[in-house]
């Protein structure tokens, strides 16, 4: 029998330490919607999404009520649209119309984001891939809930530098087209290396072609719970510290697994994976930065930060893996700047720089995430930042990503407000030396030697 | 049998248990076990209940107990036992 203390511990995590299930994401394959007629394709897409996900939000709320655990987001990921729209779309505007359909479907079923306006171009771009990429600024400026991602590299294929160059320009253009909203469009656009097929977290979620027709993926969270648990390990050695993180991650993930199984059962959709991520929010106490500070650095960015993050990331996985039947997605600690009050404070205090964040991405689950940079940053420099992150991912066989927001009209020292879960961010300085010649070379960075495993 | 855990947390006052139990009786919810203690200075009570004979849905019971809690000045939660089993038992 469960004891009153155990019940109290769980409820304290939920009420005081921001324990929640961050997202139930339904992955929907759109491959069977393909048609050469754009109108038919759009109709097929709308009907499939609204059919499959009709009860997603309702079931999510039902589970949240029954178990008393908040389920913050209900979302949808779809097959990368570059694959779906290839035969129907003649120009980038045609693709943008598909984005509009996705947005309408998202509104109809009540999800707050739909991901998969994506292209996978780690080795090269098909004409459809390139058209989709070129349509991203238009698509993101005329939709509210659509998220876009482009995978430009992988350990197996190397890095498509033509796509990297193009993405620098596209991010800049997206920023321009959404400048009235502090370049918000860029907050919904991620550039990946080694993108996972089953990531439930936005903005990078898409439903990979290796997946089944429909699947339920769940992203758990709980930085506040880990932080609170670590307060009991102050001054203790690393073994105690690691054990505390593992225990906490296990508990948090068990809740995610329960929610995933229930959602899968009630929606009659197979369960895919649980993504074991520590995803912060701007809420006080829901911060990954505060965990790192609890581990022992005065402020994130101080020497020791990368070691602390590496340890945290690894222990979260070790604790979580045993708690779930299938783990996937990004699984690790997220270090977005705008969505984490501790990160924002560190930037404002001068402790955290773009270069230190880059180092941190070598050992955590994602990359340079939700970072506002000056609007005057050149497309080539943005491409350089993407290339660096992609190289880290490629060489270290891990997912890396770039979600930077060149805020048009703003410069270092100013603040940009995105609202809601996206938070706010100080504009960070970018190295002022250029990389035009590197970006202009064109072609591909070949796959690293350790990709030849056969 | 669907077991539900009802928790009551707040300042101790006269009649908390009486009011919660009256509600449960009126709604045909059987109490299987009750324990109570003081955790960090707060009155904490946990009831293991069987709601399968009740005509009301979990959501309704949960909402109504929540409102009852507000009247008494305590926080009442009503949750499926599995969330605790999953978190604390392997």
Average pLDDT over every residue of A263-290: 92
Contact B36 A4 (CB under 8 A): yes
Same structural domain, A180 and A237: no
The 3-state secondary structure of chain A, one letter per residue: CCCHHHHHHHHHHHHHCCCCEEEEEEEECCHHHCCCCHHHHHHHHHHHHHHHCCCHHHHHHHHHHHHCCCEEEEEEEECCHHHHCCCCCCCHHHHHHHHHHHHHHHHHHCCCEEEEEEEECCCCCCHHHHHHHHHHHHHHHCCCCEEEEEEEEECCCEEEHHHHHHHHHHHHHHHHHCHHHCCHHHHHEEEEECCCCCCCCCCCCCCCCCCCCEEEEEEECCHHHHHHHHHCCCCCCHHHHHHHHHHHHHHHHHHHHHHHHHHHHHHCCCEEEEEEEECCCCCCCCCHHHHHHHHCCCCCCCCCHHHHHHHHHHHHHHHHHCCCCCECCCCEECCCCCCCHHHHHHHHCCCCCHHHHHHHCCCCCCCEEEEEEECCCCHHHHHHHHHHHHHHHHHHCCCEEEEEEEECCCCCCCEEECCHHHCEEECCCCCCCCCHHHHHCCCEECCCHHHCCC
Instruction: Dump pLDDT digits (tens) for A349-372.
Output: 999 999 999 999 999 988 999 999
Domain membership flag for residue A202: no
Contact B59 A62 (CB under 8 A): yes
Predicted pLDDT at A59: 96
Domain membership flag for residue A210: no
Contact A7 B87 (CB under 8 A): no
Band of pLDDT at residue A31, cut at 50, 70 and 90 = very high
| pLDDT of residue A244 exceeding 90 | yes
Distances (CA, A) of A78 to A62, A212, B50, B63: 24, 11, 41, 35
Same structural domain, A290 and A189: no
Partners of residue B2 in chain A, C-beta under 8 Å: none
Q: Which one of A2, A62, A229 would you mutate to disrupt binding with B, by most B Cβ within 10 Å of its Cβ? A: A2
Using an 8 Å CB-CB cutoff, list residues of chain A that contact chain B: 1-11, 62, 65-69, 251, 254-255, 257-258
Q: Which two tokens stand for residue B8?
A: 């009551």
Instruction: Dump pLDDT digits (tens) for A111-162.
Output: 999 999 999 999 999 999 999 999 999 999 999 999 999 999 999 999 999 9
Same structural domain, A139 and A229: no
Could you say which of A10, A65, A257 has the minimum Cβ distance to residue B84? A10
Query: Is residue B44 within 8 angstroms of chain A, CB to CB?
Result: yes
Considering chain B, what is the average pLDDT of its residues? Answer: 90
| pLDDT of residue A383 exceeding 90 | yes
Partners of residue A247 in chain B, C-beta under 8 Å: none
Average pLDDT over every residue of A391-420: 94
Contact A66 B81 (CB under 8 A): no
Q: Which two tokens stand for residue A155?
A: 């350990």
Same structural domain, A164 and A284: no
Domain of A372 in residue numbering reads as 218-448
Cross-strand pairs, B42: B39
| pLDDT top residue among A107 and B43 | A107
Partners of residue A67 in chain B, C-beta under 8 Å: 79-80, 82-83
Same structural domain, A223 and A98: no
Residue A126 CB coordination number (10 Å): 14
Predicted pLDDT at A408: 96
CATH of the domain at A346: 3.20.70.20
Domain membership flag for residue A9: no
Same structural domain, A58 and A142: yes
Report percent pLDDT > 90 for chain A. 88
Q: Which two tokens stand for residue A87?
A: 């035969």
Predicted pLDDT at A189: 97
Q: Which one of A6, A11, A64 would you mutate to disrupt binding with B, by most B Cβ within 10 Å of its Cβ? A: A11
Same structural domain, A180 and A264: no
| pLDDT of residue A281 exceeding 90 | no
* A–B CB contacts, 8 A cutoff, strictly below: 68
Same structural domain, A167 and A290: no
Band of pLDDT at residue A29, cut at 50, 70 and 90 = very high
Average pLDDT over every residue of A247-258: 93
Partners of residue B76 in chain A, C-beta under 8 Å: none
Considering chain A, what is the average pLDDT of its residues? Answer: 95
Average pLDDT over every residue of B54-58: 88
Domain membership flag for residue A4: no
Average pLDDT over every residue of A431-435: 96
Smallest Cα distance from B75 to chain A, Å: 11
Smallest Cα distance from B7 to chain A, Å: 8
Domain membership flag for residue A453: no
Domain boundary among A193, A210, A231: A193
| pLDDT of residue A421 exceeding 80 | no
Same structural domain, A305 and A263: yes
Average pLDDT over every residue of A65-89: 95
Band of pLDDT at residue B41, cut at 50, 70 and 90 = confident
Contact A7 B46 (CB under 8 A): yes
Band of pLDDT at residue A61, cut at 50, 70 and 90 = very high
Domain membership flag for residue A209: no
Same structural domain, A189 and A228: no
Predicted pLDDT at B20: 92
Could you say which of B35, B48, B58 has the minimum Cβ distance to residue A66? B58
The count of residues in chain A is 454
Average pLDDT over every residue of A210-218: 96
Smallest Cα distance from A250 to chain B, Å: 8
Smallest Cα distance from B71 to chain A, Å: 20
Q: Which two tokens stand for residue A451?
A: 């990709």
Contact B80 A66 (CB under 8 A): yes
Partners of residue A324 in chain B, C-beta under 8 Å: none
Q: Which two tokens stand for residue A290?
A: 């505060």
Q: How far apart are CA A173 and CA A168, in angstroms?
A: 9
Q: How many domains does chain A have?
A: 2
Partners of residue A8 in chain B, C-beta under 8 Å: 7, 9, 39, 44, 46
Contact A4 B46 (CB under 8 A): yes
Partners of residue B84 in chain A, C-beta under 8 Å: 2, 6-7, 10
Instruction: Dump pLDDT digits (tens) for A327-348.
Output: 888 888 899 999 999 999 999 9
Q: How far apart are CA B66 and CA B52, in angstroms?
A: 19
Smallest Cα distance from A67 to chain B, Å: 5
Q: What fold characterizes domain B3-87?
A: Alpha-Beta Plaits (3.30.70)
Domain membership flag for residue A454: no
Q: Which one of B49, B61, B69, B83 would you mutate to disrupt binding with A, by most A Cβ within 10 Å of its Cβ? A: B83
Positive or negative, the CA dihedral A302, A245, A64, A271 is: positive
Q: Is the distance from CB of A50 to CB of A26 less than 8 angstroms?
A: no
| pLDDT of residue B1 exceeding 70 | no
């Amino acid at each position: 029998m469960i004891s009153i203390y155990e019940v109290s511990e769980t409820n304290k995590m939920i009420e005081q330490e921001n324990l929640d299930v961050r997202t139930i994401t339904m992955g929907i394959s759109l491959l069977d919607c393909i048609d050469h007629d754009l109108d038919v394709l759009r109709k097929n897409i709308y009907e499939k999404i609204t059919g499959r996900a009709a009860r997603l939000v309702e079931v999510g709320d039902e589970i949240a009520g029954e178990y008393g655990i908040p389920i913050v987001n209900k979302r949808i990921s779809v097959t990368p649209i570059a694959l779906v729209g290839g035969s129907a779309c003649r120009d980038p505007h045609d693709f943008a119309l598909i984005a509009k359909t996705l947005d309408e479907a998202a509104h109809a079923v009540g999800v707050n984001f739909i991901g998969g306006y994506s292209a996978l171009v780690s080795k090269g771009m098909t004409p459809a891939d390139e058209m989709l990429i070129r349509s991203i600024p238009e698509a993101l400026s005329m939709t509210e809930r659509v998220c876009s991602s482009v995978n430009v590299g992988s350990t197996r294929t190397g890095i498509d530098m033509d796509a990297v160059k193009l993405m620098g320009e596209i991010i800049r253009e997206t920023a321009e087209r959404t400048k009235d909203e502090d370049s918000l469009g860029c907050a919904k656009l991620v550039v990946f290396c080694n993108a996972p097929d089953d990531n439930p977290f936005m903005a990078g979620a898409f439903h990979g072609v290796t997946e089944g027709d429909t699947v339920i993926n769940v992203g758990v969270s709980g930085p506040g719970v880990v932080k609170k648990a670590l307060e009991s390990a102050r001054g203790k050695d690393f073994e105690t510290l690691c054990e505390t993180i593992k225990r906490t991650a296990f508990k948090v993930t068990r809740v995610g697994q329960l929610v995933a199984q229930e959602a899968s059962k009630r929606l009659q959709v197979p369960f895919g994976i649980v993504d074991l991520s520590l995803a912060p929010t701007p809420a006080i106490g829901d911060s990954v930065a505060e965990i790192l500070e609890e581990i022992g650095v005065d402020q994130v960015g101080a020497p020791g930060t990368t070691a602390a993050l590496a340890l945290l990331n690894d222990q979260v996985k070790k604790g979580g893996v045993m708690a779930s039947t299938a783990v996937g997605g990004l699984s690790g600690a997220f270090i977005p700047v705008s969505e984490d009050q501790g990160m924002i404070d560190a930037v404002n205090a001068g402790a955290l720089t773009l270069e230190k964040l880059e180092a941190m991405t070598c050992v955590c689950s994602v990359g340079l995430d939700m970072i506002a940079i000056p609007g005057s940053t050149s497309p080539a420099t943005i491409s350089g930042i993407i290339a660096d992150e992609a190289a880290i991912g490629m060489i270290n066989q891990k997912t890396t990503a770039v979600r930077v927001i060149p805020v048009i009209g703003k410069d270092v020292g100013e603040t940009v407000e995105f609202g809601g879960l996206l938070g706010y961010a100080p504009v960070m300085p970018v190295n002022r030396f250029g990389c035009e010649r590197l970006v202009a070379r064109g072609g591909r960075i070949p796959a690293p030697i350790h990709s030849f495993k056969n | 049998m669907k077991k539900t855990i009802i928790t009551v947390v707040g300042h101790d006052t006269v009649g908390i248990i009486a009011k919660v139990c009256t509600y449960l009786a009126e709604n045909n919810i059987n109490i299987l076990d009750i324990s109570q203690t003081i955790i960090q200075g707060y009155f904490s009570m946990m009831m293991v209940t069987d709601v399968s004979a009740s005509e009301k849905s979990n959501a309704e019971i949960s909402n109504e107990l929540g409102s009852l809690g507000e009247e008494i000045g305590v926080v009442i939660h009503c949750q499926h036992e599995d969330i605790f089993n999953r978190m604390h038992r392997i």
